[in-house]
Structure 1
Amino acid sequence: MKRVIVVGSGAGGAASAKKLQGKFQVTVLEAGREFKPFSINLSILEKLRKTGLFFDEREIQLLFPSMSVRKTSDSMVMVSGRGLGGTTTLSAGNALRMDKGLKDLGIDLDDEFEELYREIPVTDDHRPKWQNSTKRLFEICTEMDLNPVPLPKLGNYQRCTGCGRCVLGCRYHVKWDSRQFLNAAQDLGAELITGCQVVKLVTEKGLVKGVQAQKGFNSVFYPADIVILAAGGFSTPVILQNSGIECESRLFVDPVLCVAARQKGSLQNKELSMPFAVQREHAILSPYFDYLSFFFHPSWRYPAQDIVSLMIKLADSSAGTVDNKNIRKTLSDIDQERLREEVELCMEILSTYGIKKDTIFLGTINAGHPGGMLPLTADEAVTFHNPRLPENLYVADATLFPESLGNPPILTIMAMAKRVSKIIIDKNSL
């Protein structure tokens, strides 16, 4: 049986492993360790915040090792998951199909999405769980003809306890994450190795022979007949570059900025993350309690239960790059202009809510949906394989997106990973 190495255990890696195990012998290599939800009492941290000990977003990694935080040269905060399940464990659990850009290339993923809907519970029936502040914001957006829609969620939200910690790891197993696909792959015989940082690919005569990884203090070679890179938009390009395979000089990140105000008893900190959304031409707007801003931004000095906030998630341009030393990302002039337009709209929504505009404050610009450095083209619509890659090397994460989605990408990444896996199966059954 041929050996497949999957690098990364997030959305793309787990979907690939589940699809391939049994037809191949699959080994999943994950740089992080076992994921554990954030367990520290937030009221204790809220008191510590007043001491001024929290001044750099990267400090959160000391309390929550599964959250990796880096900064660009101009201090934009970049967030990703580091542990089993990748960033799916830290996501808001949204199940949005966002494949219009792929359809424009001639890529039809209908079968893959249908397969996912059969495998994963998806629901938008969570309105009975909403806080009153969320219900009022939904009414305002409706009155403003913004067409708000409850967001479909991955999981069983009938059991949601309203802890407000979706993006810190669901302790109650309400939110689905990719560890469930990993478990299914392991039940079929897949091997899972954690604490294993893949550094580069090992090639011979134009084919990949395996990967070189760092495990503890040891450098380890893992042989393979096929390799799938699904380490995420920050890590997959670095592995390729370390292996002498150049990516495009481009990077989008879906930057997030929250527009917030004090509203006593809003209890948004006890709300499920992103309960509904307004789809804009270049952004998505959604109620969202931003923990990074709450702990590290000086304007977010009010008690958590008294802050109401609207998230702007922007579909940004691809001005940026990533390598093994730095993430370079700037917002273009058009990005900044679009961001200002959405801030104005959020301020209008909050003003209608009854909040004075001069009391509204902003959060920290942060980002967690990197991709686009090896974008699919129409020529690759059938093969999903860039010609610069060795024949037995594939990519199955957001690195393949031709442009920023400005929306949660998990479901679409998994659909692409399933297509990549199907291509591999078909090619190796001949």
Structure 2
Amino acid sequence: MFVIVGTGAGGGLLARELAKNGKKVVILEKGPYIDSKDAFNYYDKYAPGVDLLSTTCVGGSTAVSMANMVRALDEELHEFGIDLTKEYEYVEELVGVHELDDSHIGRGTQLFLDAARDLGLDVVKMPKAIREEECIQCGKCAFGCPVNAKWTAKDFVDEAVEAGAELICEAEVIDIILCNMEASGVKYVKDHEEHLIKTDKIILCAGAIQTPIIMKNMGLTGIGREIFFDPFVTVGGYLKDINFNTEVQMAALVKGKNFVLSPHFSSFIKGNIDNPDVDDKDILSIMVKTPDECKGYVHTDGFVRKENTIEDIRYLAEGVATAGFILEKAGVDPTTIGSTVYRGAHPGGTVQIGKALDSNLESEIPNLYVCDASVLPISPGKPPILTILALAKRLADYLINK
């Protein structure tokens, strides 16, 4: 029997693949099963000074993602003997990765594309997993899709349950039980009562914060001593009646050496403009996202500390300057351009391949595996969902064949 802890990208796909191949699967999820439109109510809260975006619910942070699907860390993973070529092809077809139809490229996004091309930047439409025939172009992807038009890991969890998997929600894992130094059970709390599941295969997919907490509580060392989360700010300004706030967000991508840029609305931008008549519909803005160094740690009580290096700040400054050039070229009033505060997304690197895990994502404890963003060896500086899905497919095939 397989026990999967967490229902994000890694846990969702693993549950689907294992259950559909006749394996007995139990899925433990700390959060509730929700409607996608309510996902914004389940953002996690961290220590003061750490503004990190993640959610706890069935589907994990995929529920509030933009459904962006880009390949990341190919060369870096090759160093560990991991080639995801066939897995990428499998999951891209499975979730329907494609560039959005022109019908779903709004005026603001088109201005971004045109301005970036005019400036000689490497710009493309963002590969996404969104069903245009269902998408109402409301601009609310990060709040949870109100019409379920985008893929989330909850889709895979539902398929796993249909194939016979058992889903237990609002179940917080508190310990992994060992027998002869091998993983043999999972202890969790639900409705204030402790429960124990005996099993011979455990896969932690609880995310880059919760997974290392579980492992540290087991007494494992070297876990959670590093963490990355892609730093980002949103830069924008005034462009009357652009109506960018109702477009599909992040539908285009500029790939710089040290940063990526994508059109992304933030209502905070209008607070930088000294004009009370400026409305959300008058804002065009761009997300600037960079990779960062793995400086920081996760404590067993959930406290997260993140440190930023000079390189982190330099990369962000490069991206912000480039975003400013694009905005001005697109017609934004340059005197109104401002930025949001620094935030973080896509936490990872807390249980790394090559340090805490082997190339099959197995820990030093036999039969204890990890498959979420915590396994990534360095920050990708771009959305990691597709890479996590590919790693999950690779692990599922390994476990099925094993």
Give RMSD over aligned pairs.
Answer: 2.1
Q: Secondary structure at the match of 1:343?
A: helix
Structure 2 CA distance for partners of 1:379 and 1:79, relative to 1, 3 Å: closer
Please say if residues 353 and 359 of structure 2, whose CA atoms lie closer than 8 Å, have aligned partners that are also in contact: no
Rounded to whole Å, the distance in 1 between the matches of 2:244 and 2:15 is: 37
Q: What pairs up with 1:257-296 in 2 under 5 angstroms?
A: 257-290=233-266, 293=268
Length-normalised TM-score, structure 1: 0.87
Deviations 1:61-89 (A, max 9, x none): 9xx43222324x5x231111211111111
Rounded to whole Å, the distance in 2 between the matches of 1:349 and 1:227 is: 47
Asked if 1:398 is matched to 2:373, the reply is yes
Q: What pairs up with 1:274-423 in 2 under 5 angstroms?
A: 274-290=250-266, 293=268, 298-299=271-272, 302-323=278-299, 324-377=301-354, 382-386=359-363, 388=364, 390-423=365-398
Q: Secondary structure at the match of 1:27?
A: strand
- Which residue in the other structure is 1:52 paired with? none
Rounded to whole Å, the distance in 2 between the matches of 1:346 and 1:165 is: 22
Q: Secondary structure at the match of 2:236?
A: strand
Which letter maps to 1:87? Answer: S
- Which residue in the other structure is 1:165 paired with? 140
- Which residue in the other structure is 1:81 paired with? 55
Length-normalised TM-score, structure 2: 0.93
Q: CA deviation at 1:148?
A: 0.9
Deviations 1:383-430 (A, max 9, x none): 3324x3x11100011111010011111111011011112222222xxx
Structure 2 CA distance for partners of 1:156 and 1:355, relative to 1, 3 Å: closer
Deviations 1:114-153 (A, max 9, x none): 2213322122033322221221121000011112100111
Which letter maps to 1:159? Answer: E
Q: CA deviation at 1:327?
A: 0.6
Rounded to whole Å, the distance in 1 between the matches of 2:271 and 2:45 is: 19
Q: What pairs up with 1:31-70 in 2 under 5 angstroms?
A: 31-38=30-37, 64-70=40-46
Which letter maps to 1:84? Answer: V
- After TM superposition, the structure 1 stretch with the greater mean CA deviation from structure 2, 301-310 or 267-276, is 301-310
- Which residue in the other structure is 1:197 paired with? 172
Q: CA deviation at 1:298?
A: 4.6
Asked if 1:176 is matched to 2:148, the reply is no
Asked if 1:120 is matched to 2:95, the reply is yes
Q: CA deviation at 1:201?
A: 1.1
Structure 2 CA distance for partners of 1:346 and 1:117, relative to 1, 3 Å: closer
Rounded to whole Å, the distance in 2 between the matches of 1:191 and 1:379 is: 29
Rounded to whole Å, the distance in 2 between the matches of 1:89 and 1:239 is: 23
Which letter maps to 1:355? Answer: V
Q: Secondary structure at the match of 1:68?
A: coil
Q: How many percent of aligned residue pairs carry the same amino acid?
A: 30
Structure 2 CA distance for partners of 1:199 and 1:378, relative to 1, 3 Å: closer
Please say if residues 351 and 357 of structure 2, whose CA atoms lie closer than 8 Å, have aligned partners that are also in contact: no
- After TM superposition, the structure 1 stretch with the greater mean CA deviation from structure 2, 191-200 or 371-380, is 371-380
Q: CA deviation at 1:208?
A: 1.3
Among 128, 144, 150, the residue aligned to 2:119: 144
Q: CA deviation at 1:31?
A: 0.7
Deviations 1:186-243 (A, max 9, x none): 1110000111111221112201121121212122222221100000111111111111
Unaligned runs of 5+ in 2: none
Q: Secondary structure at the match of 2:34?
A: coil
Please say if residues 37 and 147 of structure 2, whose CA atoms lie closer than 8 Å, have aligned partners that are also in contact: no
Rounded to whole Å, the distance in 2 between the matches of 1:263 and 1:375 is: 44
Please say if residues 197 and 215 of structure 1, whose CA atoms lie closer than 8 Å, have aligned partners that are also in contact: yes
Among 240, 245, 253, the residue aligned to 2:215: 240
Deviations 1:339-379 (A, max 9, x none): 11111111111122233433211112222201111211299
Which letter maps to 1:89? Answer: A
Among 194, 201, 208, the residue aligned to 1:219: 194
Runs of 4+ in 1 over 4 A off after TM superposition: 378-382
- Which residue in the other structure is 1:6 paired with? 4
Q: Secondary structure at the match of 1:358?
A: helix
Rounded to whole Å, the distance in 1 between the matches of 2:160 and 2:332 is: 50
- Which residue in the other structure is 2:73 paired with? 99
Q: CA deviation at 1:303?
A: 2.1
Q: CA deviation at 1:13?
A: 0.2
Which letter maps to 1:368? Answer: A
Among 227, 233, 252, the residue aligned to 1:251: 227
Number of matched pairs: 395
Q: Secondary structure at the match of 1:315?
A: coil
Please say if residues 260 and 308 of structure 1, whose CA atoms lie closer than 8 Å, have aligned partners that are also in contact: yes
Which letter maps to 2:264? Answer: Y
Which letter maps to 2:253? Answer: A
Q: Secondary structure at the match of 1:167?
A: helix
Please say if residues 28 and 190 of structure 1, whose CA atoms lie closer than 8 Å, have aligned partners that are also in contact: yes
Rounded to whole Å, the distance in 1 between the matches of 2:356 and 2:177 is: 27
Structure 2 CA distance for partners of 1:124 and 1:395, relative to 1, 3 Å: same
